[in-house]
């Protein structure tokens, strides 16, 4: 199946993608399914700047897009940023909607560093540990379908950092998502950034496989229409032997 389960459009504050353009291009590229996964970012520093999107308007928007483009399956998903920090609030907001897939992601460290944007300096060892510990908390405590962009802080790096000091935490994250049937995302956004690699990297995906991981999700994490394209052949090769996410 040709799919992309991580795309942002008009209801994400940082996206320039128009939904109708996305569906037309997806059909041209012979996708079977795509998911629009708009940001639901609920930390105070985010709400004070970007506000709270109307989930009802977003739902109606996806219903209209699907009716206008019946040749492809459109999933109405959501990416809940730092879900573990806003869990009760987030669950209340999404409870009336059948979002699928639900992506969980970590954007902010405890010191308020935003790891999803270019960093002025590389993270310190303590910050890297904090980043992975938060992913572990997210995976352990939140009802998600996909763990999104694990390792996102590296997108703007020009080298592969040594993460041996946090390998134990990473293994615990992998064990947790395996136990909970959460899919590990292959995020393609780093291919468009200085890092020039998928995240997580192939070595971590191999580790996930060795530990018994079954579910892989592919996400372009597109915010511009020119970023949404065919899935690279090498990514499709990596996915052989894995199943897509278990979605309702």
Which pLDDT score, from 0 to 100, does residue 218 have? 98
Which pLDDT score, from 0 to 100, does residue 248 have? 83
Domain count, the chain: 1
CA quadruple 119, 104, 228, 97: dihedral positive or negative? negative
Cβ partners under 8 Å of residue 172, min gap 6: 136
- The answer to whether position 126 is within a domain reads yes
- The answer to whether position 180 is within a domain reads yes
Which pLDDT score, from 0 to 100, does residue 205 have? 98
- The answer to whether position 134 is within a domain reads yes
- The answer to whether position 243 is within a domain reads no
Q: Look up the domain containing 59 and give its range.
A: 3-238
End-to-end alpha carbon distance in the chain? 16
- The answer to whether position 21 is within a domain reads yes
- Whether this model's pTM surpasses 0.85: yes
229-240 tens-digit pLDDT: 999 999 999 999
Q: How confident is the model at residue 6 (pLDDT cuts 50, 70, 90)?
A: very high
154-171 tens-digit pLDDT: 999 999 999 999 999 999
- The answer to whether position 169 is within a domain reads yes
CATH number at residue 55: 3.20.20.140
Give the mean model confidence (pLDDT) for residues 87-113.
Answer: 97
Give the mean model confidence (pLDDT) for residues 11-25.
Answer: 97
Q: Among the residues of the chain, which ranges form H helices? A: 19-28, 44-50, 55-68, 87-94, 125-141, 167-179, 202-210, 233-238
Residues linked to residue 36 through DSSP beta bridges, in sequence order:
7, 76
Give the mean model confidence (pLDDT) for residues 18-39.
Answer: 98
Q: How confident is the model at residue 151 (pLDDT cuts 50, 70, 90)?
A: very high
Is residue 35 pLDDT above 90, yes or no? yes
**To which residue do tokens 């018994």 refer?**
212
Is residue 1 pLDDT above 90, yes or no? no
Cβ partners under 8 Å of residue 183, min gap 6: 101, 145, 146, 147, 177, 215, 216, 217, 244, 245, 246
Q: How confident is the model at residue 33 (pLDDT cuts 50, 70, 90)?
A: very high
Which pLDDT score, from 0 to 100, does residue 148 have? 98
Nearest to 183 by CA among 221, 201, 209, 222: 209
- The answer to whether position 160 is within a domain reads yes
Grouping H, G, I as helix, E, B as strand and the rest as coil, residue 212 is: coil
- The answer to whether position 245 is within a domain reads no
């Amino acid at each position: 199946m040709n799919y992309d389960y991580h795309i942002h459009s008009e209801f994400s504050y940082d996206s320039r993608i128009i939904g109708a353009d996305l569906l037309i291009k997806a059909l041209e590229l012979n996708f079977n399914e795509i998911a629009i996964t708009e940001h639901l970012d609920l930390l105070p520093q985010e709400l004070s700047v970007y506000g709270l999107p109307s989930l009802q308007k977003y739902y109606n928007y996806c219903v209209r897009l699907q009716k206008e483009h019946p040749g492809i399956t459109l999933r109405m998903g959501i990416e809940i940023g730092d879900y573990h920090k806003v869990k009760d609030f987030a669950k209340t907001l999404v409870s009336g909607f059948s979002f699928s897939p639900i992506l969980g992601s970590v954007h902010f460290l405890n010191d308020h560093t935003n790891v999803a944007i270019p960093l002025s300096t590389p993270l310190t060892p303590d910050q890297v540990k904090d980043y992975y510990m938060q992913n572990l908390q997210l995976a352990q405590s939140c009802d998600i379908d996909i763990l999104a962009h694990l390792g996102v802080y590296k997108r703007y790096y020009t080298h592969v950092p040594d993460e041996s000091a946090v390998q134990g935490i990473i293994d615990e994250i992998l064990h947790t998502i395996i136990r909970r049937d959460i899919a590990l995302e292959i995020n393609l956004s780093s291919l468009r950034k200085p890092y020039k690699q998928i995240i997580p990297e192939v070595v971590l995906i191999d580790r996930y496989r060795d530990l018994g991981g079954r579910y892989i999700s592919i996400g372009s994490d597109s915010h511009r229409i020119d970023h949404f394209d065919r899935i690279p052949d090498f990514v499709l090769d990596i996915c052989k032997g894995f199943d897509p996410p278990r979605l309702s």
